[in-house]
Amino acid sequence: MAEQALSMYSEMKRGGSLHPNTDTYVALLQGCTMLKDIGNGTEIHSRLGELETDLFVGSTLISMYGKCGLLDKAHEVFVRIQKQNVVAWTALIAGYAEHGHGEIALKLYKKMQEAGICPNAITFVCILKACGALRATCSGQMIHAEVESKGLMQTNLFIGSAVVDMYAKFRLLEKAQDVFNKLSLRNSVSWNALISGYSNIRQDQRVLECFHRMCFESVFPDGITFACALKACGNLNDINTGHNIHTEIGERDPVKKQAFVCNALINMYAKSGSLLKAQQVFNSLPARDVVSWTALISGYAEHEHGEEALECFEQLKVKGLVPNAVTYICSLKACGAIGAVEKGEEIHTEIERRGLLEEGLVGSTLVDMYARCGSLTKAQQVLDTLSLRNVVSWTSLMAGYALIGKGEPVFANFSRMLSEGIQPNFITFVVLLNACTVSGLLNKSQTYFQAISKDFGIIPLLEHWTCMVNLLGCLGESINVENMVDKLSVIPDMVLWCSVLGACKNWGSLRFAEQVFENIGIN
């Protein structure tokens, strides 16, 4: 439709005899908005002349620029409109709300009311969205109360869904669920608002419960519902449900053609380790975007197929696609896993060239890659250049030193990390205790072990006890191992028992080994 409108427009320009009216221009600009065709949109705008200030044409222009993220242009048009009504205001607010400028959206909302214009249902939807994105809980609750008092919650499904979505974005899922339960009508959008909320806080079991419940209540899931459900299956390793959903999608024509649904399928199989299925779905796609490739790379990288992951990384570039930050992160993980340091260096150069080093987890993954490959000098260099050094990047570096048997730099970097005001996490302590083991430092390890709870308020976990048992075992402190097992504040798992048995084997403590086997229940 939109394409047709634009080709009619070309025809009109060629003929030169047609005189489009406001309706024609509104339709044309809507076409450009749908196609995100800002080139044609701007050209049409330049031909408008006086018509630009018409309320209908002007509002459509604001919407077009707003949706395409050209907010300054949207604002300029808004100012030139003679008498802005609620539609013009809302179109402008929507633009800001949709492009991460919730703060401005809220300010405009206030100004609109100061100008004597009352918000309507659509304005509320936009402003609820802005509150959700900003995590503006106070304003959000006030707006919620206002729409409630106007009785809009029960009469307008858009509003009901927007309120559920807002609380979900606040991560107040109990509240979101509460609002949802009180809705008199629910459609796929209200369900999706709730489901995506659970999905974002990784309540994957809840996601699937909602999914089934929704189907039971005869509300048809759409592409977005399927995408959330598949993500949950991947996280839960629930390949059965995932496969059932796959079958269901195959029977639903518009849904199975949506790119993001197909990508969610690839991801589900890849995450659950069904790499063959992931590759099959991938191969069957008519068009593959960078997300499809990245989902596949991630699957290979996480399941010990580093070579395949890097092969995909090359292929995607051959196809003319541009890797993004997530693609680099997954590919670097593959390099770290198989020790492909040269490939890692190549990717590093690419990241620097494209200015992506500070994006998300790119920097810490790069440190981790060098550390795993044993290139500690490079790892240290990268860490030093990062403007934001977090606990993950510090710990990765320290783990790398421990891995090659160097304890001293682990302790030195730990001090530097603390002096920068970064708090260690439980993995940091695992690394520190391992460093004590490789350096044979019993006293130091005991100091760190005590510091876990005393200075940092973390309860020592299984992993920390295992480190201590390993250390005592290495040093031949068999009596201390026995004492430690008596004092455990955690329920031992097989990993810990194996460490204990390792210590027994080192020092020939057959008697204690027999006790261990009794404990595990093997005689």
Residues 169-208 that bind DNA (CB under 7 A): 187-190, 192-193, 196, 199-200
Q: Minimum distance from CB of 448 to DNA (Å)? A: 28
Are the CB atoms for 445 and 436 separated by under 8 Å?
yes
Region 41-80 residues binding DNA, contact defined as CB under 7 A:
54-56, 59-60, 63, 67
Place of tokens 């934001």: 388
Considering beta carbons, is residue 263 or 499 the nearer one to DNA? Answer: 263
Region 75-114 residues binding DNA, contact defined as CB under 7 A:
85-88, 90-91, 94, 98
> Is residue 125 close enough to count as binding DNA by CB under 7 A?
yes
> Is residue 391 close enough to count as binding DNA by CB under 7 A?
no
Q: What's the CA dihedral at 133, 139, 143, 145 to 10 degrees? A: 130
Q: Which amino acid is at 464?
A: H
- Degrees, nearest 5: CA angle 178-183-185: 150
> Is residue 241 close enough to count as binding DNA by CB under 7 A?
no
Considering beta carbons, is residue 158 or 426 the nearer one to DNA? Answer: 158
From the list 119-127, 244-252, 454-462, 485-493, the region that binds DNA by CB under 7 A is 119-127
Q: Minimum distance from CB of 259 to DNA (Å)? A: 6
Q: Minimum distance from CB of 247 to DNA (Å)? A: 19
DSSP structure string for 41-109? HHHHHHT-GGGGGSHHHHHHHHHHHHHTT-HHHHHHHHHHSSS--HHHHHHHHHHHHHTT-HHHHHHHH
Query: Which of these, 185, 239, 231, 187, lies nearest to 207 by C-alpha position?
Result: 231
Considering beta carbons, is residue 129 or 175 the nearer one to DNA? Answer: 129
Region 496-515 residues binding DNA, contact defined as CB under 7 A:
none
Query: Which of these, 173, 174, 107, 166, lies nearest to 140 by C-alpha position?
Result: 166
> Is residue 122 close enough to count as binding DNA by CB under 7 A?
yes
Provide the CB-side half-sphere exposure for 206 (13 A, CA).
15
CB atoms within 10 A of CB 483: 11
Considering beta carbons, is residue 23 or 493 the nearer one to DNA? Answer: 23
- Structure-token pair, residue 199: 């999905």
> Is residue 210 close enough to count as binding DNA by CB under 7 A?
no
- Structure-token pair, residue 60: 């459509």
Region 127-146 residues binding DNA, contact defined as CB under 7 A:
129
Q: How far apart are CA 128 and CA 136, in angstroms?
A: 10
Length of the chain: 523
Considering beta carbons, is residue 123 or 445 the nearer one to DNA? Answer: 123
Region 309-348 residues binding DNA, contact defined as CB under 7 A:
324-327, 329-330, 333
Rg (CA), the chain: 29
Q: Minimum distance from CB of 348 to DNA (Å)? A: 16
> Is residue 361 close enough to count as binding DNA by CB under 7 A?
yes
> Is residue 22 close enough to count as binding DNA by CB under 7 A?
yes
Which residue of 8, 20, 30, 35 would you call a contact of DNA, by CB under 7 A?
Answer: 30
How far CA 109 is from CA of 91, 131, 456, 504, in Å, comes to 11, 11, 45, 71
Q: Using CB under 7 A as the criterion, what x/- string covers residues 249-288 for binding DNA?
A: ---------xxx--xx--x---x-----------------
> Is residue 117 close enough to count as binding DNA by CB under 7 A?
no
